[in-house]
Structure 1
């Protein structure tokens, strides 16, 4: 669950960034849309008073001199008033109580010609004294310092910067900062996602592509290895398991093809020998080699034996082919076990004894109702007997026992031969498998096709039964056939 957990954490982080960015944007838009236009603060007049305080001090100290100013006499402090007003970048008009302008910085000489409208021109309220977008006119009463009586009016024209109180910015700084941080973090997460996908997803998939191409070319030896225990690692593990299974199937197919070729070779050889013998005896009969009927009958017996051998080989091959096609016919019919097995075992005794072996038939056969195909059961027992003949020497014993165990019929075919080698035991029911044989039995082993026991297993399973064995080296082998009763 590594990738699932990683993507879950990544998705949560990216979602938080987007949510933070969205909320900050909404807050910023709301704040800007509802922010009221700033107004001139009420204490701006005090700022103007501070700005003109020095000029007002001079006017209050020397207002009497201004009242007595004429064209011929000019007080010295007027130059100082003019210099201060220019230094502070403001204009000053001083008028007496009757409105006569006694001093004007814009036109200092001559004085007394202009006259103010005391009601219209004098404004003590800054907000109503605006004369433009960037300047204000503001009047201050000039008070005599000795008597405390108003001596005149000073009318100042100031710039907006001189009267506006500096205010802290009301712009919401936190919201843009959060938005910027969210965007940067989201970009970082996207970069991490791209890097993660490239390094831990696309590159491993590219590696799997190369491994798949190797498998298509028939190279199954290259293992799929991945160093991390995550979802990609699990894919690699499954892929490698698939590679192993494909490799094993390929080996099995090669082994099967080889076995089939060997089967055809063996059957061709096994058929050629009796065919040659049959042809030779027939030619001998036709050529008149046999002088009398007993000699002809002796030849016919040999021909019949070879013909039966060929028929058995062809039957095994046919059953094998039908089994691969899923078309092997097993016709189950109800019959009594005693009669069925007596008919099957009766012709086998002389055949076994003729091979120099001791044959012990069942002392008693249970007479129960069974559902079997007598032809296929005879084929099964014939294959077991033939297999026992391969593993026994002259004088050995082959024994057949049939007993009833509960609701099953148990048939045992045992011999006192050399037994089956331990390394061959897991494979004896496999098709084409013939196993290894002692040197004295090697020739007999080569005569087989490796299909007999495989066919036996298929017939037993088709009867809803089972077949098993027990073998001890130098002590013989026992095969057990279990058939249901009823």
Structure 2
């Protein structure tokens, strides 16, 4: 009997074996009913049988074996995707879910070969087609399962970041009140200033984390354009950076008209991350320069630092999230105080404003990030 016919005739028997195996995948399986354990097993089997009866050229077989989506079966993919999603919901881990497909494959082949009296050439073709169908179902289930895991993690991070804001605000307000007391000693004032500075760093990290999660969940950064002066925003960002680095003496150069319409809060995020990145990864002297040039329709902002250049192989991923080390050999005295999201947030802010950002880095010239933003939408 051809394998596809065998699967259709013995689907219930095969699914019974699936259920028995799934019941051993504890602890998640302990609370599941028979219907939950069987889940989409029969639908996957029958869809695999239909796929095996579909004509396939040699070229299509090779393409499918190489993982291309040519000739995929919608009903098989849908059943497998639903299975992956539900297994995540009920608490199966990825290894347990994939082991179900391994056991299903082994069960079908064992039952079928036991029923054969004399193997024929067509039977080998059946085995190949069946393995293709199961691999397709496994790939689809795994992809959907991984997607659900990532989304659950992102939602958790969003909740965590949101809940951390309240205690950080309490730290900031309490340290500000203590700083205003006249009777405080200079030593205590230094400690409070350190608490305030650390709270500010943590607040920046939480903000970056929330923006990262927002983009991961499919939302672009919202912006509200209002008339503003980019020069003022740059001065404020430089002053804030200098407060945290007393030995920092940035050079700020301005040319032209720098008035435009941007989202001030987002621009502040961009500037703080760019300048903070230059201070952290630049030379130990903390010498940085900020250049702002206003044109007729655009402003150009450049942030430059000396020191070891960014490794050439890292340039392509410099704006990717969670990339922390720009250069393992960078001459910096500052340990990393970020999550590796700073430049990712910078690029998101630039994109939200319809601008562009580039980076150049080499020995002798140092590293320069250049942002070009249109003055209006």
Contact 1:429 1:453 (8 Å CA) reproduced: yes
Cα gap change, 1:400/1:205 in structure 2, threshold over 3 Å: closer, same or farther?
farther
CA contact (8 A) 2:226 2:264 kept: no
Distance in 2, Cα, partners of 1:323 & 1:376:
14
Q: Where does 1:22-101 land on structure 2 (aligned, <5 Å)?
A: none
Which whole-Å deviations, capped at 9, do the CAs of 1:23-79 have from their partners, x for residues lacking one? xxxxxxxxxxxxxxxxxxxxxxxxxxxxxxxxxxxxxxxxxxxxxxxxxxxxxxxxx
1:214 corresponding residue in structure 2: 135
Residue of structure 1 in register with 2:112 after alignment: none
Structure 1 segment 388-427 matched on structure 2, within 5 A = 388-405=278-295, 407-427=297-317
Give the greater-gyration-radius structure (CA).
Answer: 1
1:330 touches 1:376 (CA, 8 Å); kept in 2?
no
In the alignment, is the contact (CA less than 8 A) between 2:280 and 2:332 conserved in 1?
Answer: no
Mapping 1:210-359, distance limit 5 Å: 210-214=131-135, 216-217=137-138, 292-295=183-186, 296-327=188-219, 329-336=221-228, 339-349=229-239, 351-352=241-242, 354-359=245-250
Residues 447, 346 of structure 1: CA spacing in aligned structure 2 closer, same or farther, 3 A cutoff?
Answer: closer
The change in CA–CA distance for 1:450 and 1:204 in structure 2 (over 3 A counts) is farther
1:435-484 Cα offsets, whole Å, 9 max, x none, are 35335658745432111111111111111112111111453111111111
Equivalent residue, structure 2, for 1:434: 324
CA contact (8 A) 1:390 1:441 kept: no
Measured at CA, do residues 299 and 447 of structure 1 come closer, stay the same or move farther in structure 2, by a change above 3 Å?
closer
**Residues 1:376 and 2:266 aligned together:** yes
Instruction: Kindly provide the CA deviation profile for residues 131-152 of structure 1, in whole angstroms up to 9, marking residues without a partner as x.
Output: xxxxxxxxxxxxxxxxxxxxxx
1:358 is paired with a residue whose SS is: coil
1: CA distance, partners of 2:231 / 2:125: 65
Asked whether the 8 Å contact 1:470–1:477 carries over to 2, the reply is: yes
Distance across 1 between alignment mates of 2:312 and 2:302: 21
Map Cα deviations across residues 181-217 of structure 1 (whole Å, 9 max, x no partner): xxxxxxxxxxxxxxxxx989x9767524313423545
Aligned to 2:253: 362
* Distance in 1 of aligned mates of 2:247 and 2:373: 30
The verdict on how the C-alpha distance between 1:203 and 1:462 changes in structure 2, with shifts beyond 3 A counting, is farther
Q: Report the secondary structure of 1:330's partner residue.
A: coil
**What's the TM-score once normalised by structure 1's chain length?**
0.41
Contact in 2 for aligned 1:380/1:455 (Cα 8 Å):
yes
Q: How many residues were matched structurally?
A: 240
Give me the CA root mean square deviation: 4.2
- State the 1:333 CA deviation: 2.2
Cα deviations by residue, 1:255-301 (Å, 9 ceiling, x for unpaired): x96xx89x98xx99xx9xx99xx79x98xx9xxxx994234443332
Provide the rounded CA distance (Å) in 2 between the counterparts of 1:440 and 1:467.
Answer: 22
C-alpha contact (below 8 Å) 2:241/2:275 kept by paired residues: no
Matching residue of 2:360: 470
- 2:27 corresponds in structure 1 to none
Unaligned 5+ runs, structure 2: 1-55, 58-119
Counterpart Cα distance in 1 of 2:226 and 2:326: 40
Match for residue 449 of structure 1 among 329, 335, 339: 339
| Corresponding residue SS for 1:376 | helix
In structure 1, list runs of 5 or more residues that go unmatched. 4-197, 219-242
Secondary structure in structure 2 of the residue aligned to 1:363: strand
Q: Give the structure-2-normalised TM-score.
A: 0.52
Aligned twin of 1:240: none
Alpha-carbon distance between aligned partners in 2 of 1:371 and 1:300, rounded to the nearest angstrom: 37
- Aligned-pair CA distance for 1:329: 4.7
CA distance in 1, matches of 2:233, 2:292: 14
Displacement after TM superposition at 1:314 (Å): 1.1
Structure holding more helix per residue: 2
* Aligned pairs (5 A) from 1:132-143: none
Tell me how far apart the structure 2 counterparts of residues 331 and 463 of structure 1 sit (CA, whole Å): 8
Deviations 1:386-411 (A, max 9, x none): 11112223334211112234532211
Say whether the 8 Å CA contact 2:258–2:293 is kept in structure 1. Answer: no
